[in-house]
Amino acid sequence: MQPLALAVFCAAIASAAPLTLRQTGFTAGADGRPAGWTVWSARPDTMPRTFVDRARSRTGVGSLGISGNSNAAAHGGWEHSVSGVKPNGWYRVTAHYRAEGVASEAWQIVARVDWRDTAGKRAGQPEYVHRARREGAWTRVTADIPAPGNASSAVVQLYLSNAPLGTVWWDEISLEEIPDPGPRKVTVASVNLRPRNTKSSMESVGQFLEAIEASVKGKTDIILLPEGITVVGTPSTYEQVAEPIPGPTTERLAALARARNSYVAAGIYEREGATVYNTSVLIDRRGELAGKYRKVYLPREEVERGLTPGNDYPVFRTDFGTVGMMICYDVFFADPARALATRGAEIILMPIWGGNETLGKARAIENGVFLAASGYDYPTYVMDPDGEILSQATQRGSAAISTVDLNRRYAHPHLGDMHSRRMKELRLDIAPALPGLEQ
pLDDT of residue 439: 77
Domain map of the chain by residue range? 3-178, 185-406
Is residue 160 within 8 Å of 98, Cβ to Cβ? no
Q: Tell me, what's the pLDDT at 18?
A: 57
How do residues 22-40 score in pLDDT, each as one tens digit?
999 999 999 999 999 999 9
Instruction: State the average pLDDT for the chain.
Output: 94
Q: What is the rounded CA–CA span in Å between residue 169 and residue 50?
A: 10
Do residues 353 and 375 lie in contact, with contact meaning Cβ atoms separated by under 8 Å? yes
C-alpha 163/C-alpha 59 separation (Å) is 26
Class of domain 3-178: mainly beta
Average pLDDT over residues 330-338: 97
Residue 330 confidence (pLDDT): 98
* pLDDT tens figures, 178-213: 999 999 999 999 999 999 999 999 999 999 999 999
| CA dist 90 → 51, 176, 181, 198, 333 (Å) | 31, 9, 8, 54, 36
Contact (Cβ atoms closer than 8 angstroms) between residue 115 and residue 151? yes
Q: Which CATH superfamily is domain 185-406 in?
A: Carbon-nitrogen hydrolase (3.60.110.10)
Reported as a single tens digit per residue, the pLDDT across 271-300 is 999 999 999 999 999 999 999 999 999 999
Comparing 62-76, 137-151, 407-421, the range with the smallest average pLDDT is 407-421
Q: What's the whole-number mean pLDDT along residues 406-414?
A: 92
How buried is residue 95: exposed, middle or buried, by Cβ count under 10 Å (0-12/13-18/19+)? Answer: buried
Q: Give the model's confidence band at 19: pLDDT under 50 very low, under 70 low, under 90 confident, else very high.
A: low
